[in-house]
Structure 1
């Protein structure tokens, strides 16, 4: 029948009109919480038909066929227009990708933002297994799902094979890790963020197959690429796979926003993508919301607020998208792999066409009005500058550079304050004395005969004794080598004048290192607090900054303890800030 979709290829008992299927599609993408079951129940109530559970399955079959017909018709239109599979990615956003003749060259030709979200997880249905492992957790049975390799990604999803090429084990097998080049930007907190590796909640991922999505958007909110996160957290392979596709599609001078962009820049530099990223001048950035959780030195290097060329862009489009797409979680949690991908791609296509594209003019107009409002305040700013004695706008850039140089100087001070050989010699003597004093409980048992009585624990004690002797031998070799270099004829003791003077130098050095570290943390904390106390800082951002500062307060307390421990050992002792005295500074 014309305008009807059958639920079976031969002798169907149920047919559904295309108008009803289109009504459900539009309603579902507008309100993702609406599932098939309540919609079918409503249809039955309207037409006075008794509801039967099998009708939901029949409706789902017809809906899949309807979406497939829409997809095939779109592909045929694209084929007739001569557009290949990569056309959508390169022409998604007219504001980003349409270039005018004679258009002024910008610092960033393309701005993107990417992030992961774990709301769209999918439970992997398994057979029931009652075995219990040693730690008390039940074992997971094999999957009982039917294999369905149909692709419903509509060109948005990166295939799993492409993503797995960037897995850590694959990269290590392919080539050794590259060292960052000398021109790589200083990365003050590359080792701090840990969401680039799997975390301790990995046991939870066994319940799910897909544990979320990793998304890339342009600065105007159009979806560029999506990839599934599989039985893991936010691993580095997902942003690497996405960034490779973006570099191939858009080429030079890209700015990539990511909540851990500082860490990601080091990851890119150490991967097979490093040379291409350097050649195409890729810059990794941190969004305005997440960036204030980073320390001040990282903000000066990566935060969107301080990077020239970003203007009023905040690089937080993913958070706004996720706040809308989280409604899909209900329909994706227990769906099949194919239907989950179908749900996400259908929602994205509709969102781009009827939300992002329809509101693009309003978005650009709002940004334009916001820029005009900022420019109108220029006279007030100039008046304030004259009152404070600021001669030009270049002084603001100079202040930021001076702040960055000052913090870098404190950060690099421990590296520049290299130990002398005399200090190292004293430390090796201390190590040698400590290793020689290790008690050996197996000394009396080391020559036991074969018929001697068994003594529990003798094997461990013998192993400890042997390891102790090896450590003494190693420390002694280091002491002898330094004595040869320093031309020391008689070994120093704690009463030797050279020992006493060197210990004073060590104490001064440790005090200076502790003071530089404490000064760096305190100054960074003062600058970080300024944003939280500024007007027009939203409540969520204020709470976000406060939570990050609270998490880093332990580092300040530890720095105070180290400073006090070093200050009290000087002669005369320096003023203490407060805290406990650490034993590591004592001799």
Structure 2
């Protein structure tokens, strides 16, 4: 087939294309390790009587040839796809905005590839005003596509403590990562919206005293949202999940469709799960879909995202009307029960059997890359992740037919079981629906005034916080004693552990002070 050189001019090594293709196929199925592979080749060739001049020459030369071979293969695939797209009949200008973008249609043909995605709507749901941004209210009961999002803080990249300079040039390939400029712009927008709300020009509803209420645009009371926010670390932007002292890139956030196809990725550089990363991914997605496409959005804290959207007005209300928020199935049980009634995808019409956990499956598939990404350069890390996503795309594309067949059979089996259960119970379906509506209305009603119970609950919370603060202080003291006694075997892990313990101590102490300050003098005396 030919040879591929390690340099464009005067190469000292050329590698057979079949060998490069074999290594490329191998490295997307296990942890990429050019060093180990080249060392094995050198040992094998040495046994056959062949040796290389110099030290580590094969690794540097082979790595260069392999890297640019992968770049060439990716560019060739993109060029072929572009030529095919050009050969397709072009849509008329007035119809271009009625379909998802070519990028999305290529990312997931099942979600965005068809031109008939509106046919699933009932006739009354097809009633759209003259302006495509104004959606009739009765369309909110269905969604046209379902996406999910999550962050992962294990795919980190360490800082370069020694200041070593390596060869890490940008790679000329199409990337799935949202540009840094877009992320920075959304961070500024989020800060401006929150500042405008705090200054009084935005609409922020705050309950008075012990009153509970349902804010405008929301479906559950403020007390329920507060409970969900306190239950999840992802809802606290100040919570440090990765140390920025030791890591330049702290993780990834991904946006996937319901078929586990990656739509976009965002590179995280903060210690916590900041809200502007979510907004950047949503903004990128919104610009690629028609103005009347309705979206089901599943996230670990979907209730908090909708609350922030309604509260701070990050996007227009016309966009908010097209989004139906839900929580991922595995995280739903950590939410308050009224929140589960509204946001659980199994209890919400339109989400079907989508679980919103596609990101967890993606993180599992990327798990072999954790050790490699820690020591990679900035551009090399993005390149490896893009390569792996392309491999997962090819793998899922070849299994779409089997996936659909398996899911269809499972769906029919579950439907038969539900129909059999309804027949056995002997209840009218209309009566059951009416009872469910009544239950939702009752259990999402704002709580009445409960001054005494609330005070007792607050005192118990403060006492529990005091115990947690003491426990974190004891953990910090134990770590410091180990350090003084020179019993630390892994200094990097020690730094991460003590930084995490101190961050938790500071957060809990701050929460304890704020809760104490909120109590009156008479109540404080009861502590």
Check whether the contact 2:326–2:345 (CA below 8 A) recurs between aligned residues: yes
Larger Rg: 1
Residue in 2 aligned with 1:97? 112
Alignment of 1:312-461 (within 5 A): 312-353=353-394, 355-386=395-426, 390=427, 392-409=428-445, 411-414=446-449
**Aligned partner of residue 314 in structure 1, secondary structure:** coil
Check whether the contact 1:152–1:342 (CA below 8 A) recurs between aligned residues: no
Distance (Å, rounded) in 1 between the aligned partners of 2:457 and 2:237: 34
Identify the match of residue 42 of structure 2 among 25, 41, 44: 44
Distance (Å, rounded) in 1 between the aligned partners of 2:190 and 2:339: 30
Structure 1 residue 289, shift from structure 2 partner: 0.9
Confirm or deny that 1:287 pairs with 2:307.
no
Check whether the contact 1:116–1:212 (CA below 8 A) recurs between aligned residues: yes
Check whether the contact 1:171–1:271 (CA below 8 A) recurs between aligned residues: no
Check whether the contact 1:413–1:513 (CA below 8 A) recurs between aligned residues: no
Assess, with a 3 A threshold, how the Cα gap between structure 1 residues 65 and 40 changes in structure 2: closer, same or farther.
Answer: same
Assess, with a 3 A threshold, how the Cα gap between structure 1 residues 262 and 17 changes in structure 2: closer, same or farther.
Answer: same
**Aligned partner of residue 15 in structure 2, secondary structure:** strand
Deviation readout 1:418-474 (Å, 9 max, x if unpaired): xxxxxxxxxxxxxxxxxxxxxxxxxxxxxxxxxxxxxxxxxxxxxxxxxxxxxxxxx
Confirm or deny that 1:225 pairs with 2:240.
no
Alignment of 1:167-182 (within 5 A): 167=187, 171-172=191-192, 176-177=196-197, 178-179=202-203, 182=216
Confirm or deny that 1:74 pairs with 2:77.
yes
Assess, with a 3 A threshold, how the Cα gap between structure 1 residues 272 and 165 changes in structure 2: closer, same or farther.
Answer: farther
Identify the match of residue 117 of structure 1 among 152, 156, 174: 152
Distance (Å, rounded) in 2 between the aligned partners of 1:298 and 1:29: 40
**Aligned partner of residue 205 in structure 1, secondary structure:** coil
Structure 1 residue 396, shift from structure 2 partner: 3.6
Distance (Å, rounded) in 1 between the aligned partners of 2:300 and 2:278: 11
Deviation readout 1:215-267 (Å, 9 max, x if unpaired): 11110111110110014221111111001111121242101111111111122
- Where structure 2 has 5 or more consecutive residues not aligned to the other structure, the ranges are 91-99, 123-141, 205-214, 459-521
Assess, with a 3 A threshold, how the Cα gap between structure 1 residues 303 and 145 changes in structure 2: closer, same or farther.
Answer: farther
Check whether the contact 2:151–2:251 (CA below 8 A) recurs between aligned residues: yes
Structure 1 residue 71, shift from structure 2 partner: 2.8
Distance (Å, rounded) in 1 between the aligned partners of 2:371 and 2:235: 27
Residue in 2 aligned with 1:494? none
**Aligned partner of residue 147 in structure 2, secondary structure:** strand
**Aligned partner of residue 264 in structure 2, secondary structure:** strand
Check whether the contact 2:168–2:380 (CA below 8 A) recurs between aligned residues: no
Assess, with a 3 A threshold, how the Cα gap between structure 1 residues 86 and 14 changes in structure 2: closer, same or farther.
Answer: farther
Distance (Å, rounded) in 1 between the aligned partners of 2:235 and 2:174: 28
Structure 1 residue 331, shift from structure 2 partner: 1.7
Identify the match of residue 235 of structure 1 among 274, 283, 302: 274
Confirm or deny that 1:216 pairs with 2:240.
no
Residue in 2 aligned with 1:420? none
**Aligned partner of residue 91 in structure 1, secondary structure:** helix
Assess, with a 3 A threshold, how the Cα gap between structure 1 residues 173 and 396 changes in structure 2: closer, same or farther.
Answer: closer
Distance (Å, rounded) in 1 between the aligned partners of 2:321 and 2:80: 33
Distance (Å, rounded) in 2 between the aligned partners of 1:397 and 1:144: 66
Alignment of 1:1-16 (within 5 A): 3-16=2-15
Check whether the contact 1:269–1:275 (CA below 8 A) recurs between aligned residues: no
Distance (Å, rounded) in 2 between the aligned partners of 1:215 and 1:337: 18
Residue in 2 aligned with 1:481? none
TM-score normalised to the size of structure 1? 0.63
Assess, with a 3 A threshold, how the Cα gap between structure 1 residues 584 and 405 changes in structure 2: closer, same or farther.
Answer: farther
Assess, with a 3 A threshold, how the Cα gap between structure 1 residues 259 and 99 changes in structure 2: closer, same or farther.
Answer: same
Distance (Å, rounded) in 1 between the aligned partners of 2:166 and 2:101: 31
Deviation readout 1:100-137 (Å, 9 max, x if unpaired): 5483228111100110111211112133xxxxxxxxxx
Distance (Å, rounded) in 2 between the aligned partners of 1:68 and 1:195: 36
**Aligned partner of residue 213 in structure 1, secondary structure:** strand
Structure 1 residue 277, shift from structure 2 partner: 5.9
Check whether the contact 1:413–1:516 (CA below 8 A) recurs between aligned residues: no
Assess, with a 3 A threshold, how the Cα gap between structure 1 residues 299 and 152 changes in structure 2: closer, same or farther.
Answer: farther
Assess, with a 3 A threshold, how the Cα gap between structure 1 residues 203 and 115 changes in structure 2: closer, same or farther.
Answer: closer
Check whether the contact 1:258–1:285 (CA below 8 A) recurs between aligned residues: yes
- Where structure 1 has 5 or more consecutive residues not aligned to the other structure, the ranges are 128-142, 415-508, 518-581
Confirm or deny that 1:307 pairs with 2:348.
yes
Confirm or deny that 1:166 pairs with 2:186.
yes
Residue in 2 aligned with 1:510? 451
**Aligned partner of residue 310 in structure 1, secondary structure:** coil
Check whether the contact 1:153–1:345 (CA below 8 A) recurs between aligned residues: no
Check whether the contact 1:90–1:249 (CA below 8 A) recurs between aligned residues: no
Distance (Å, rounded) in 2 between the aligned partners of 1:70 and 1:153: 10
Distance (Å, rounded) in 2 between the aligned partners of 1:154 and 1:273: 29
Check whether the contact 1:301–1:307 (CA below 8 A) recurs between aligned residues: yes
Which stretch has the larger CA shift, 16-25 or 69-78?
A: 69-78
Check whether the contact 1:247–1:277 (CA below 8 A) recurs between aligned residues: no
